[in-house]
């Protein structure tokens, strides 16, 4: 489908230009809101043109950096290319690109790690500063000037509302038949004028199919014809399959005990191979008519929809492997009736997560023996990706799982440690920890009880004696509520930094 067919609003025709011409409209030092959520729906042409401009300005001895706010991660052709060109001054709220990560950890980029449910409202409240330009990928523009959202909604609604100027990237690659898949809620307001969000079922539609924009804000329309990044998911390994089996067995047991309804509660699944393994396990599990209420729809949920095990899936983004995306395109009529894409301030909204009773499953870097969780930092200081939406779901979910293999780096790092080197989720937000060693149900347990269960159920045998020794010696100091040896609490991390191995 041509650009003229995708842009049916005549007023925008004279604003069609190249990416290079549009990039020239974005000055140094401004705050730019870009579309994109977990490798989907991000601008493809503008970031590359911005990077080229930055390189030219730097070669001429002039400064050029912009501050970029998105929904979540983008891709190497967006974050990566701008980071490589030293065009990023500030970045929020999430990043997975290795080039940008290196610049963040070197101190070149000021990275702000945020709960994804906070980003739109904090920007709207003015907490983050003024947004000068929004760069938003859309699939087209209707004859009435409404915008057809792309493969990710993210924070686009808010960016279009609060930005002074808007640049539209019209991507003619995704199927035009995605039109109608989206549900854009326009009932939000700034306190004290907020009203309850009227959603009581995960598959309920509460908004419009289109994004709105003030036509006078639109300063450029740029064409792209390129798919999202190929999200390569490895086949589930033995550890992932074992973790998935433990979770599914636990859910079946909770249902037998009457703590879960027979129709099952909606499922949120984080990004990655372990999450896909859990979804794959649900294909053969005892549960029917599942509902998804999550941030990112991955290959595993597509499989569940196609098999009829899941009836509907709600997300803010579709992030697929190349093979799964081909299936999505080929069967778009089928999926359009079963997938709802919403703004992330709805997909991650704590009020909805709690009301709908979401079962949350998220990955972690490490957990300590009391249930505190580190989702973001390697050895306490190096940013990996960000907290993402895990906090939105963990604190408010009906059930909350944190999952990880018990060891990393060929066993040289234990993912169960005496004390986390960085805490993103406190013990108060952690219900269940799962590794390939087992599942620790922490509900209703005191700190000392949690420690024994986590060590016995989740720690790798190579580290279990070390953890028990630490805990026993900490308890021997006296009857503390949460026993720790403060001189040794982070010694495991220091040992790894010094020797490359946490083992004694």
To the question of whether residue 221 is assigned a binding role by annotation, the answer is no
Tell me the pLDDT of the chain (504 aa) as tens digits: 678 889 999 999 999 999 999 999 999 999 999 999 999 999 999 999 999 999 999 999 999 999 999 999 999 999 999 999 999 999 999 999 999 999 999 999 999 999 999 999 999 999 999 999 999 999 999 999 999 999 999 999 999 999 999 999 999 999 999 999 999 999 999 999 999 999 999 999 999 999 999 999 999 999 999 999 988 777 778 998 899 999 999 999 999 999 999 889 999 988 777 777 888 888 888 899 999 999 999 998 999 999 999 999 999 999 999 999 999 999 999 999 999 999 999 999 999 999 999 999 999 999 999 999 999 999 999 999 999 999 999 999 999 999 999 999 999 999 999 999 999 999 999 999 999 999 999 999 999 999 999 999 999 999 999 999 999 999 999 879 999 999 999 999 999 999 999 998
To the question of whether residue 89 is assigned a binding role by annotation, the answer is no
Q: Which of 84, 137, 223, 295 is catalytic?
A: 295
Task: Spell out the SS3 assignment of 465-490.
Answer: HHHHHHHHHHHHCCCCCCCCCCCCCC
To the question of whether residue 271 is assigned a binding role by annotation, the answer is yes
User: Considering all CA atoms of the chain, what is the largest pairwise distance in Å, rounded to the nearest integer?
Assistant: 77
Question: Rounded CA gap, 128 and 158, in Å?
Answer: 13
- Asked if 314 contacts 348 with a C-beta cutoff of 8 angstroms, the reply is no
CATH code matching the domain that covers 3-224, chosen among 3.40.50.10330, 3.40.50.300, 3.40.1080.10, 3.30.565.10: 3.40.1080.10
To the question of whether residue 239 is assigned a binding role by annotation, the answer is no
Question: Rounded CA gap, 207 and 200, in Å?
Answer: 14
CATH hierarchy code of domain 238-499:
3.40.1080.20
3-state secondary structure of 450: helix
Domain boundaries, the chain: 3-224, 238-499
To the question of whether residue 105 is assigned a binding role by annotation, the answer is no
295 belongs to the catalytic site: yes
To the question of whether residue 365 is assigned a binding role by annotation, the answer is yes
Opening angle at CA 359, ends 356 and 364, nearest 5? 135
Scanning 188-272, the segments in alpha helix (DSSP H) are 238-256
To the question of whether residue 270 is assigned a binding role by annotation, the answer is yes
Asked whether the whole model's pTM tops 0.75, one would answer yes
């Amino acid at each position: 489908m041509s650009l003229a067919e995708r842009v049916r609003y005549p007023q925008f025709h004279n604003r069609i230009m190249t990416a290079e011409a549009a990039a020239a409209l974005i000055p140094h030092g401004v705050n730019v809101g870009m579309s994109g959520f977990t490798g989907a729906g991000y601008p493809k042409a503008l970031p590359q043109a911005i990077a080229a401009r930055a390189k030219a300005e730097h070669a001429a001895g002039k400064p050029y950096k912009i501050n970029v706010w998105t929904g979540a991660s983008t891709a190497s052709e967006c974050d990566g290319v701008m980071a490589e060109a030293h065009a990023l001054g500030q970045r929020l709220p999430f990043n997975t690109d290795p080039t940008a990560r290196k610049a963040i950890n070197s101190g070149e980029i000021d990275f702000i790690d945020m709960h994804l449910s906070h980003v739109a409202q904090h920007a709207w409240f003015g907490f983050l500063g003024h947004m000068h330009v929004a760069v938003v990928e859309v699939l087209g523009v209707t004859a009435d000037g409404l915008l057809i959202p792309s493969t990710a909604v993210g924070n686009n609604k808010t960016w279009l509302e609060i930005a002074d100027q808007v640049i539209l990237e019209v991507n003619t690659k995704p199927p035009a038949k995605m039109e109608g898949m989206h549900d854009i809620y326009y009932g939000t307001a700034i306190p004290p004028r907020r009203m309850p969000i009227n959603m009581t079922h995960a598959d309920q539609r509460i908004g419009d199919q289109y994004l709105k924009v003030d036509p006078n804000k639109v300063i450029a329309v740029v064409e792209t014809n390129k798919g999202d990044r190929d999200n390569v998911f490895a086949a589930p390994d033995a550890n992932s399959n074992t973790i998935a089996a433990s979770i599914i067995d636990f859910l079946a047991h909770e249902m037998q005990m009457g703590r879960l309804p027979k129709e099952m509660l909606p499922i949120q699944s984080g990004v990655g191979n372990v999450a896909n393994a859990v979804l794959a396990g649900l294909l053969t599990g005892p549960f029917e008519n599942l509902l998804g209420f999550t941030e990112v729809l991955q290959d595993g949920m597509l499989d569940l929809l196609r098999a009829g095990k899941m009836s509907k899936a709600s997300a803010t983004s579709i992030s697929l492997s190349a093979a799964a995306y081909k299936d999505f395109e080929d069967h778009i009529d089928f999926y359009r009736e079963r997938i709802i894409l919403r703004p992330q301030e709805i997909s991650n909204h704590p009020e909805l997560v709690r009301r709908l009773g979401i079962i949350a499953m998220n990955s972690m870097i490490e957990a300590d023996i009391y249930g505190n969780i580190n989702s973001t930092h390697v050895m306490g200081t190096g940013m990996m990706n960000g907290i993402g939406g895990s906090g939105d779901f963990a604190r408010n979910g009906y059930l909350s799982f944190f999952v990880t293999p018990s060891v990393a780096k060929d066993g040289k790092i234990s993912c169960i440690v005496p004390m986390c080197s960085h805490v993103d989720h406190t013990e108060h937000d952690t219900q269940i920890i799962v590794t390939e060693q087992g599942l620790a149900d922490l509900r209703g347990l005191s700190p000392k009880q949690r420690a024994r269960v986590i060590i016995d159920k989740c720690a790798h045998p190579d580290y279990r004696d070390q953890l028990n020794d630490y805990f026993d010696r900490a308890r021997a100091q006296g009857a503390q509520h949460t026993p720790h040896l403060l001189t040794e609490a982070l010694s495991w991390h220091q040992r790894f930094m010094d020797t490359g191995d946490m083992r004694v």
